[in-house]
């Protein structure tokens, strides 16, 4: 079976930038994501996901997916991790790790999570397969030309310049 270009099991080339965390930190992130994945509320999809964010100060915040019977209100693990960190007063991150149970594949953050993560700057995205393979990308690779507060600032500037 051939794989589709850009499919989740066909990771993009690794970025030219140096990894933003040490291998010891990466191990801790994977452990935190895997541990939190076990708490996933995935009664409908049975697709458990864990995420762990490495903050600039070295602290780690994790999340799991939380599904809902309405389906549309389901929240991804990555956003749960981001919201947990923000609620703790942390908004600067170096890396995010995503783990799941689907052997032989990488699972990347969905579009909504990429946008939410990009609010807090560029970072490494480590996608970890259950068999221990790790694919590193930069968030800016996965979401080029992300919408940002810079666009809002441009509009505000134009409004203030208008007589
Ligand atoms: Zn998502």
Out of 31, 67, 78, 158, which one is annotated catalytic?
78
Q: State in Å: Cα 80 to ligand 1 middle.
A: 9
Q: How confident is the model at residue 154 (pLDDT cuts 50, 70, 90)?
A: confident
| Catalytic (active site) residue 151 | no
* Complete domains list, the chain, with CATH: 23-161 (3.40.140.10)
Q: State in Å: Cα 5 to ligand 1 middle.
A: 21
Q: How confident is the model at residue 88 (pLDDT cuts 50, 70, 90)?
A: very high
Q: State in Å: Cα 53 to ligand 1 middle.
A: 14
Q: State in Å: Cα 79 to ligand 1 middle.
A: 7
pLDDT in tens, 5-42: 555 567 888 899 999 999 999 999 999 999 999 999 99
Q: How confident is the model at residue 87 (pLDDT cuts 50, 70, 90)?
A: very high
Q: What is the DSSP string of 95-144?
A: EEEEEES-TT---PPPHHHHHHHHTT---EEEEE-TTS-EEEEEHHHHST
């Amino acid at each position: 079976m051939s794989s589709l270009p850009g499919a989740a099991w066909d990771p993009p080339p690794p970025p030219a930038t140096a990894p933003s965390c040490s291998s010891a930190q990466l191990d801790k992130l994977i452990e935190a994501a895997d541990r939190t994945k076990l708490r996933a509320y995935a009664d409908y999809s049975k697709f458990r996901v864990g995420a762990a964010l490495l903050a600039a100060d070295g602290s780690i915040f994790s999340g799991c997916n939380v599904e809902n019977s309405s389906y549309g209100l389901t929240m991804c693990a990555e956003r749960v991790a981001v919201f947990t960190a923000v609620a703790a007063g942390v908004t600067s991150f170096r890396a995010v790790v995503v783990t799941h149970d689907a052997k032989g594949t990488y699972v990347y953050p969905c579009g909504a999570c990429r946008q939410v993560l990009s609010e807090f700057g560029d970072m490494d995205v480590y996608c970890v397969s259950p068999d221990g393979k790790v694919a590193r990308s930069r968030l800016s690779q996965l979401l080029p030309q992300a919408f940002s507060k810079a666009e809002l600032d441009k509009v505000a500037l134009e409004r203030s310049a208008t007589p």
